[in-house]
Amino acid sequence: MSALALDRFFADLCPSQAPGYAWCALGPGSKARRGFGGLAVVQPEPLPVTDQTLFDLASLTKPLVTALLALQAQDRGEVDLRSSVPGASPPSFTWLQLLRHQAGFPAWLPLYAAVSKPSDLLQWLLGRCPRSQPGEKTVYGCPGYVLLGLLLERVLQAGLGDLFARRLAAPLGLRADEACFRPSPALRSRAAATEREPTREAEMARQHGAAPPAFPEPTGGWGVVDDGNARFAGGVSGNAGLFGTLRAVEVLATAYRPSRGFLSDASLALAWENGPEADGELRTAGWKSARSGGWSSGAELAPGAIGHEGYTGTGVWLEREEGHTFILLTNRIHPHHPGTDFGPTRAAFLRAAKEAL
């Protein structure tokens, strides 16, 4: 077991690529390494990362909340994931195709430009959002998971934040100050800040004649979800919005382990195994397969591994047979998005973390 590679990695990472970070590498049995360092906030005031820092997990919300709720709902007989989504305009698509990013939805749209209020999102996504033929291509994106969150709210008759708290966090032993949507003002000082201004999303939205919802002044992206569509939805969405500590991410990620007993074997198979292959990436129900071509992180993982990454500089990777779990949380887009590709850095973390176990 050697920590030298990890020491070198974090010396290169912080502060040149990210102000702060938290990480863990878990092996079978009692093997575990964890750490944190740097600053959770640079502006408006310097605050260090601690084991209690709440990171904006960005798209990790997809596997750690939305997909986990959907799989749990199937286990409880509340949803048949292989059935067609009711109320959608032709061509029809299934819940499982939504989970695998194969329902035909685009990679991204400024949904705040499509409707005037969040309550109109469900019907717009079901009936008016442009879609391609389901099953033909895997297109990783956010609109399909926004819809998935809204569908779960309708079927399970509660808001997504409440569903997360009652059906996932509490049974898994997580407190509200460890994992939550919309951190309270009292928790803001524990949050890792993100962008001061959503400049990169603004560039994307401008092409659609729109502008992302403004951050509350004067805090910018400090304790407020960075994703504009999630912010438009009030901070709670199927694609983004979850804030969590390192421990919370560990707990939620290991819910996908058979040893945890949280999901049935049938649901675990959907999360770990690819479905019918289509053009594009290889996706499971909630995750990306290590076999997906051109994925720098996947190239460092064992066969059969799955993972997911987030815009704010986050990532979770699970190896199946080896029983390894790797987590990297950063606030790399604070105070401004650096405009660089974080993929090689994530891959370098995986190499170093594997050497340390």
Residue-range domain boundaries for the chain: 4-356
d(CA 47, CA 161): 27
d(CA 172, CA 283): 25
Percent of the chain with pLDDT over 70: 99
- Find out if CATH 3.40.50.720 is the number for domain 4-356: no
Point out which residues pair with 315 in neighbouring strands: 309, 328
The pTM is what? 0.98
Task: Give phi and psi for 312, each to the nearest 5.
Answer: -75, -5
What six digits make up the tokens of 38? 């740097």
> Is 336's pLDDT higher than 80?
yes
161-176 residues labelled b (16+ CB within 10 A) or e (exposed): bebbbebbbeebebee
- Which amino acid belongs to residue 18? A
Sheet with 314-318, strands from edge to edge, namely: 47-48, 32-41, 20-26, 325-330, 314-318, 306-310, 288-289
State the pLDDT at residue 28: 84
> Is 216's pLDDT higher than 90?
no
Q: What is the mean pLDDT of the chain?
A: 96
State the pLDDT at residue 84: 98
- Quick one: CA dihedral 253, 180, 67, 229, positive or negative? negative
> Is 1's pLDDT higher than 60?
no
State the pLDDT at residue 310: 98
State the pLDDT at residue 292: 93
d(CA 81, CA 207): 35
State the pLDDT at residue 217: 76
d(CA 28, CA 171): 23
> Is 30's pLDDT higher than 80?
no
Whether the CB-CB separation of 70 and 152 falls below 8 Å is answered with yes
C-alpha dihedral, 241 to 37 to 13 to 203, nearest 10°: 30
Q: What is the DSSP string of 95-131?
A: HHHHHTT-SS--S---HHHH-SSGGGHHHHHHHTS--
pLDDT tens digits, one per residue of 308-320? 999 999 999 999 9
Residues in the chain: 357
d(CA 93, CA 85): 6
Whether the CB-CB separation of 282 and 272 falls below 8 Å is answered with no
Taking the CA of residue 260 as centre, how many other CA atoms within 13 Å lie in the half-sphere pointing to its CB?
Answer: 17
pLDDT tens digits, one per residue of 87-133? 999 999 999 999 999 999 999 999 999 999 999 999 999 999 999 99
Q: What is the largest CA-CA distance in the chain?
A: 56
State the pLDDT at residue 212: 97
Neighbouring C-beta atoms of residue 333, cutoff 10 Å: 26
Whether the CB-CB separation of 356 and 39 falls below 8 Å is answered with no
CA angle 132, 275, 156 (to 5 degrees): 75
When pLDDT is cut at 50, 70 and 90, the band that residue 31 belongs to is: confident
Mean pLDDT for 177-187 is 96
When pLDDT is cut at 50, 70 and 90, the band that residue 147 belongs to is: very high
Chain centroid to CA 238: 9
